[in-house]
């Protein structure tokens, strides 16, 4: 079932103060890369993530010290925290007690029904949702020989059934694969049969160049279908780049209107200045701008106001200088050494 915008209508839940699903905006997530028990490092990383536009952060909780660290981390930051836990329900209980806003745990991985019941009671008492996070490594090997889309969906439904039998429905689901076609098909299959909010992502996507392509295709395809309520772009490297990539994906699809979107020509023999250097300088000087503005940087007068008519502001460069334009209309002539300063003046006014 879709709403009037074509987006699939899902149940809504909250992670801290951030709504997920329903008619809420698609939120952006990431995960810290340093040990959770190293509180100063975690706080520094969370601060960088927040400044980049991250709205939910996940922390790995491999031991009790990490679970207890959540309390101190919560005291120093406002961003909602998801505790990522595998197998040990005691770490989940400790994380809840320390103030976690949500859990990522698969109930089928716990040892017995009593452990699941204890976990569900603690989550219900604190109004904490659970993300069932299925990936290619978590399918039932006795039933499926390969991590197909059908296997991912079946695994998710098995975990969901455990919680539903305990009348717990504050559930968010992810069905991640490193194989983009499998990931896309799994989410599409699930979206046809259940209405739980979906966390989109391509798992183990690799280093920056590969991860950007795989995530843009996989996440983008689903968002165009109206599927997805929150996203994480997984990149091997600096986690801040995950947020920048996520914002770009959402902005490119018209799902977010924030930050500086630069339209620049691919360059050719006609270019009259170093377009790449100018664009990189603009990106660096405007990376923390929250307001939405479309800025065009064109290397010649052919690719000028005509081809960038939808830009809010831009420049087209000729042999002796450049023209500054707004909304497709030239407003003044400037010299080449004024290009960056003139654009920044328009951006920050």
Q: Contact 114/88 with Cβ under 8 angstroms?
A: no
Q: How many domains does the chain have?
A: 2
Q: Is the pLDDT of residue 308 over 80?
A: no
* Judgement on whether residues 246 and 265 belong to the same structural domain of the protein: no
Is 119 within the bounds of a domain? Answer: yes
Helices (H), the chain: 39-52, 64-75, 89-98, 113-126, 149-165, 180-193, 208-224, 240-252, 275-286, 339-348
pLDDT: which is higher, 77 or 142: 77
* pLDDT given for residue 297 in this prediction: 94
Q: Is there a domain that residue 2 lies in?
A: no
Mean pLDDT of 156-168: 94
Query: What mean pLDDT is predicted for residues 311-322?
Result: 91
Within 10 Å of residue 251's Cβ, how many Cβ atoms?
17
Same domain, yes or no: 239 and 221 = yes
Could you give the CA distance from residue 67 to residue 85 in angstroms, rounded to a whole number? 9
282: nearest Cα among 292, 271, 296, 268: 296
Same domain for 38 and 75: yes
How big is the chain by its Cα radius of gyration, in Å?
23
In a domain, 336, yes or no: yes
274 in the same domain as 235: no
The CA distance from 157 to 216, in Å, is 26
Per-residue pLDDT at 302: 78
- Which range is least confidently modeled, 183-187, 223-227, 235-239, 318-322? 318-322
* Model confidence band, residue 121 (pLDDT cutoffs 50, 70, 90): very high
Domain housing 62 = 13-252
Are the beta carbons of 1 and 26 closer than 8 angstroms?
no
- If you average pLDDT over residues 196-220, what whole number do you get? 95
Among 164, 174, 2, which residue's Cα sits nearest to residue 84?
A: 174
Q: What is the average per-residue pLDDT within 95-105?
A: 96
Same domain, 42 and 148: yes
Summarised one tens digit per residue, pLDDT across range 4-22 is 457 889 999 999 999 999 9
Structure tokens at 312: 């809010």
What is the structure's pLDDT at 135?
86
Largest CA distance in the chain: 77
| Same-domain check for residues 244 and 334 | no
> Are 271 and 194 part of one and the same domain?
no
Q: How far apart are CA 331 and CA 177, in angstroms?
A: 50
Half-sphere exposure of 160 (CA within 13 A, CB side): 21
With cut-offs at 50, 70 and 90, classify the pLDDT of residue 313: very high
In this predicted structure, what is the pLDDT of residue 27?
A: 97
Final residue of a structural domain among 252, 286, 309: 252
Q: Do 244 and 275 sit in the same domain of this protein? A: no
Helix (H, G, I), strand (E, B) or coil at 290: coil
Q: What is the pLDDT of residue 144?
A: 78
Say which residue the tokens 């509180």 belong to. 39
pLDDT at 4: 41
Q: Report whether pLDDT(189) > 50.
A: yes
Share of the chain above pLDDT 70, in %: 98
Is the pLDDT at 275 greater than 50? The verdict is yes
Q: Looking at 195, 224, 252, which one is the last position of a domain? A: 252
Residue appearing with tokens 């405007």:
286
């Amino acid at each position: 079932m879709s709403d009037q915008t074509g987006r699939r209508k899902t149940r809504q839940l909250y992670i801290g103060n951030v709504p997920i699903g329903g008619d809420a905006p698609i939120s952006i997530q990431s995960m810290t890369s340093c040990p959770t028990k190293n509180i100063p490092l975690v706080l520094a990383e969370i601060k960088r993530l927040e400044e980049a536009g991250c709205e939910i952060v996940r922390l790995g909780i491999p031991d009790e010290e990490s679970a207890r660290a959540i309390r101190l981390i919560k005291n120093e930051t406002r961003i909602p925290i998801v505790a990522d836990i595998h197998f040990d329900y005691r770490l989940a209980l400790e994380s809840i007690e320390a103030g976690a806003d949500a859990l990522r745990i698969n109930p089928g991985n716990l040892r017995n029904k009593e452990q699941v019941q204890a976990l569900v009671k603690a989550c219900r008492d604190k109004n904490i949702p659970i993300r069932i996070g299925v990936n290619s490594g978590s399918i039932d090997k006795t039933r499926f020989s390969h991590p197909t889309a059908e296997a991912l969906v079946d695994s998710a439904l098995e975990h969901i059934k455990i919680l539903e039998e305990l009348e717990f429905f504050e559930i968010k689901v992810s069905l991640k694969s490193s194989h983009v076609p499998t990931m896309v098909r799994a989410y599409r299959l699930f979206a046809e049969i259940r209405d739980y909010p979906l966390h989109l992502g391509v798992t183990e996507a690799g280093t920056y160049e590969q991860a950007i392509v795989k995530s843009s295709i996989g996440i983008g395809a689903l968002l165009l279908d109206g599927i997805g309520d929150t996203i994480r772009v997984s990149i091997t490297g600096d986690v801040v780049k995950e947020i920048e990539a996520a914002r770009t994906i959402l902005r490119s699809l018209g799902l977010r209107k924030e930050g500086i979107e630069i339209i620049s020509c691919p360059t050719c023999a006609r270019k009259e200045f170093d377009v790449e250097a100018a664009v990189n300088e603009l990106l660096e000087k405007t990376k923390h701008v929250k307001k939405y503005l479309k800025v065009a940087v064109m290397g010649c007068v052919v690719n000028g106001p005509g081809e960038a008519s939808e830009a809010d502001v831009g420049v087209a460069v000729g042999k002796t200088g450049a023209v500054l334009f707004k909304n497709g209309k030239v407003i003044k002539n400037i010299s080449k050494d004024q290009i960056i300063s003139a654009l920044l003046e328009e951006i920050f006014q």
